[in-house]
């Protein structure tokens, strides 16, 4: 890899790790496994080591991820809460051991002792006590500044509010949810039709970082203390002794701590923890190896991010064999049909796995997965389980091929996979699985523009069975809407008025509202102008549609497929019965002064919205574009114009003001 390639890859990895760290630490919603993230960090660290000229203090290899959530008070950690250097092989553990041994030899220390502990999979927190009383608790945050979660931590039953000794002490621990409690909590959420937590770590993090401590109190949080950050009036030489003292004070201390004298014992400890993982009541994602001598730790010191006296050995993702009993298909809110493998239940990384997503058609083909196959699955302590490989040597000839259906399993409408996409989508506009999303789009500002009918109200209408399809919007009664809110009379009248106004919308809005694939507002206007009413459009064939400028064969096929469906015609008939306009209301315009001209709008205009200005341009035969190029005819520039204005100046494109635009359209 040359320098340019290295620089490009380093920049890519920094962006990726920043994004995934934000999803993990700040939003508690990881999108990839810990293992995948760790491998990115390993690659980034190795590249930065090989090409030091590209080092940056802003790289996550040099700092701790995480930020303070809005709504929490900031807490500055007097002693930073650092992260640990991760290693992924026993060879790397040996390198650490040798390095420590060499440092010890330099200062005359003959025997170095170690403590090997479980690396608990949770959220790190610092607890501060004054004269033995708990006074403050904070999350790690970025290691230097965390969030004040004192009231939330007071709800954790295993945190002592008062210690045996009246001392000033700050300790560090890991907040977590035990395996059994996590499964019970998710089971309850499933019964209540609530979104399930992806894993115990994120459930714990999300629970601790609630702005309302009453919510935190309902979650089964626990904590294990694993370090003294600061202590007064007490001196310890040994970390192991320190942990024993904390236990005497009433702290819930990490129960797995193995005292080691040499590398052989360290390896044995790592191996034992690895073998006992499933038996532990709490989730772990590694083993931590620490120098026991606290004075020697001071000499070894730290980097900006990690201590030099400890490392974390990460176990490889746990894998298990199981059988694919069936493959079923789920239809998501956007219409994507997702294959789901129904598995012989198996326990992996502390969770019983009985099903997992197979993502899409390409994934099934790539892995060559069949119903009846024996497969290897893994769950790296987080996110979702996945099929790693098929054990083809265990096939007996009874296995069945599988492919994504081309008919929606929910509504029976055609399901299509378009070029360049991995997903197969249901095209039915009345499909109950995607009804919510279809409704949200139908009433949106660029479509039927029904003011007051937002996502929350749509959810309530669906929950109360007041609407079962899009056309039901137009049969809602004043009384039904008013019953949804306390003193809902004014709200009901406003919504009824807004629904009635939408009946008079132009045809292009209705076409937009249908959500036909590839048909946005611009194409809808072209179709409304060309066909004059919905019936003419229904009867248009694909060849005829594809000849229209800005439509083309792909869009034409989407349109004809949509109008060939029985449920589409059923919906249109219902809308007609409700009095919804299905005709083009735009007057025929022979003024095409902007024909062949392309406008780009930038900045804020005084007299027009962007949409209004675009409508005028299109009415006069012109086009609008979102980007400036040599083919752009004019850039209409308002206040606070940005990069588009600079781009136009560099290309020599004519720039016009709002005043000049008004003269052009008069």
Query: At CB < 8 A and 24+ separation, what contacts does 11-15 make?
Result: 13/40, 13/43, 13/44, 13/47, 14/44, 14/56, 14/58, 14/59, 14/60
Residue 380: which residues within 8 A CB-CB, separation 6 or more?
A: 33, 34, 35, 36, 285, 317, 318, 349
- Catalytic sites, residue numbers: 119
Q: Give the integer Cα–Cα distance in Å for 132 and 147.
A: 22
Parallel, antiparallel, or unpaired: how do β-strands 634-637 and 654-656 relate?
parallel
Neighbour tally for 463: CB within 10 Å: 10
Q: Give the integer Cα–Cα distance in Å for 70 and 296.
A: 39
Its sign, for the CA torsion 614, 616, 618, 621, is negative
Q: Give the integer Cα–Cα distance in Å for 418 and 517.
A: 10
What is residue 122's DSSP assignment? S
Q: Give the integer Cα–Cα distance in Å for 130 and 8.
A: 50
Neighbour tally for 370: CB within 10 Å: 18
Q: Give the integer Cα–Cα distance in Å for 176 and 207.
A: 10
Residue 171: which residues within 8 A CB-CB, separation 6 or more?
A: 126, 127, 129, 225, 227, 228, 229, 246, 251
Nearest residue to 370 (alpha-carbon basis) of 335, 415, 348, 339: 339
The H or E element that residue 378 is part of is strand 374-378
C-beta separation of 324 from 388 below 8 A = no
Write out the E strands in 7-92. 74-76, 85-87
Q: Which two tokens stand for residue 355?
A: 């099903």
Residue 351 Cα to chain centre, angstroms:
21
359 exposure class (CB count in 10 Å sphere: 0-12, 13-18, 19+): middle
Give the DSSP per-residue string, 188-235. HHHHTTPPPPS-HHHHHHHHHT-SSHHHHHTS--EEEEEEEEEESS--
CA distances (Å), origin 548, targets 510, 516, 519, 545, 556: 20, 17, 13, 6, 9
Enumerate helices (H) and strands (E) in the chain, giving the number of each: 24, 22
Calculate helix-pair angle for 34-50, 3-21, nearest 10 degrees.
Answer: 150
Counting Cα atoms < 13 Å in the Cβ hemisphere of 58 gives 7
Residue written as tokens 């626990």? 222
SS (HEC) of 488-541: CHHHHHHHHHHHHHHCCCCHHHHHHHCCCCCCCHHHHHHHHHHHCEHHHHHCCC
Burial letters 487-520, b for 16+ CB under 10 A, else e: eeeebbeebbebbeebeebbbbbbbbbbbbbebe
């Amino acid at each position: 890899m040359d320098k340019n390639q290295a620089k490009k890859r380093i920049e890519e990895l920094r962006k990726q790790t920043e994004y995934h760290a934000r999803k993990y630490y700040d939003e508690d919603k990881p999108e990839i496994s810990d293992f995948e993230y760790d491998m990115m960090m390993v690659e980034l660290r190795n590249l930065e080591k090989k090409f030091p000229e590209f080092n940056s203090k802003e790289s996550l290899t040099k700092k701790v991820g995480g930020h303070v959530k809005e709504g929490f008070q900031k807490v500055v950690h007097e002693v930073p809460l650092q992260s640990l250097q991760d290693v992924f092989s026993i060879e790397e553990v040996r390198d650490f051991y040798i390095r420590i041994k060499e440092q010890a030899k330099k200062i005359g220390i003959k025997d170095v002792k170690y403590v090997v502990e479980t690396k608990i999979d949770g959220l790190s927190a610092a607890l501060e006590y004054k004269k033995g009383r708990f006074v403050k608790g904070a999350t790690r945050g970025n290691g230097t500044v965390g969030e004040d979660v004192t009231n939330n931590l007071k709800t954790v039953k295993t945190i002592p509010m008062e210690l045996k000794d009246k001392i000033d002490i700050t300790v560090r621990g890991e907040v977590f949810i035990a395996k059994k409690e996590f499964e019970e909590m998710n089971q309850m959420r499933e019964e209540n039709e609530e979104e399930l937590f992806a894993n115990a770590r994120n459930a714990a993090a999300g629970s601790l970082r609630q702005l309302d401590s009453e919510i935190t109190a309902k979650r089964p949080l626990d904590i294990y203390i694993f370090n003294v950050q600061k202590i007064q009036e007490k001196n310890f030489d040994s970390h192991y002794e320190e942990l024993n003292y904390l236990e005497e004070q009433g702290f819930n201390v990490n129960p797995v701590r193995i005292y080691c004298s040499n590398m052989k014992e360290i390896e044995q400890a790592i191996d034992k923890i690895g073998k006992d993982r499933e038996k532990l009541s709490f989730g772990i994602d590694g083993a931590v190896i620490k120098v026991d001598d606290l004075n020697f730790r001071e000499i070894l010191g730290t980097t900006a991010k990690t201590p030099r006296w400890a490392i974390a050995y990460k176990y490889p993702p746990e894998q298990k064999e199981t059988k694919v009993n069936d493959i079923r298909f789920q239809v998501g809110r956007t219409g994507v049909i997702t294959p789901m493998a129904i598995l012989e239940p198996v326990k992996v990384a502390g969770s019983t796995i009985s099903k997992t997503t197979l993502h899409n058609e390409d994934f099934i083909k790539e892995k060559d997965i069949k119903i009846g196959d024996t497969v290897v699955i893994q769950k790296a302590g987080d996110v979702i389980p996945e099929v790693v490989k098929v054990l083809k040597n265990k096939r007996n000839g009874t296995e069945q091929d599988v492919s994504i259906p081309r008919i929606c399993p929910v509504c029976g409408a055609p399901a299509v996979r378009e070029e360049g996409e991995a997903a197969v989508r249901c095209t039915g506009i009345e499909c109950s699985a995607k009804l919510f999303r279809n409704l949200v789009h139908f009433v949106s500002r660029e479509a039927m523009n029904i003011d007051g009918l937002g996502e929350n109200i749509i959810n309530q209408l669906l929950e109360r069975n007041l609407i079962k399809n899009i056309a039901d919007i137009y049969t809602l009664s004043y009384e039904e809407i008013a019953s949804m809110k306390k003193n809902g009379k004014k709200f009901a009248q406003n919504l009824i008025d807004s629904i009635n106004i939408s009946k008079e919308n132009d045809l292009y809005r209705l076409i937009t509202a249908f959500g036909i694939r590839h048909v946005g507002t611009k194409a809808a206007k072209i179709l409304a102008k060309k066909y004059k009413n919905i019936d003419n459009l229904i009867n248009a064939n694909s060849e005829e549609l594809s000849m229209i400028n800005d439509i083309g064969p792909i869009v034409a096929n989407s349109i004809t497929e949509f109008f060939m469906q029985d449920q589409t015609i059923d919906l249109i008939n219902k809308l007609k019965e409700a009095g919804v306009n299905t005709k083009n209301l735009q007057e025929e315009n022979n003024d095409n002064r902007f024909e062949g001209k392309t406008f780009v709008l930038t900045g804020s205009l005084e007299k027009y919205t962007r949409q209004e200005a675009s409508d005028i341009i299109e009415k006069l035969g012109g086009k609008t574009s979102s980007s400036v190029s040599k083919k752009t005819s004019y850039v209409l520039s308002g206040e606070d114009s940005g990069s588009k204005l600079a781009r136009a100046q560099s290309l020599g494109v004519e720039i016009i003001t709002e005043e000049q635009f008004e003269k052009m359209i008069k």
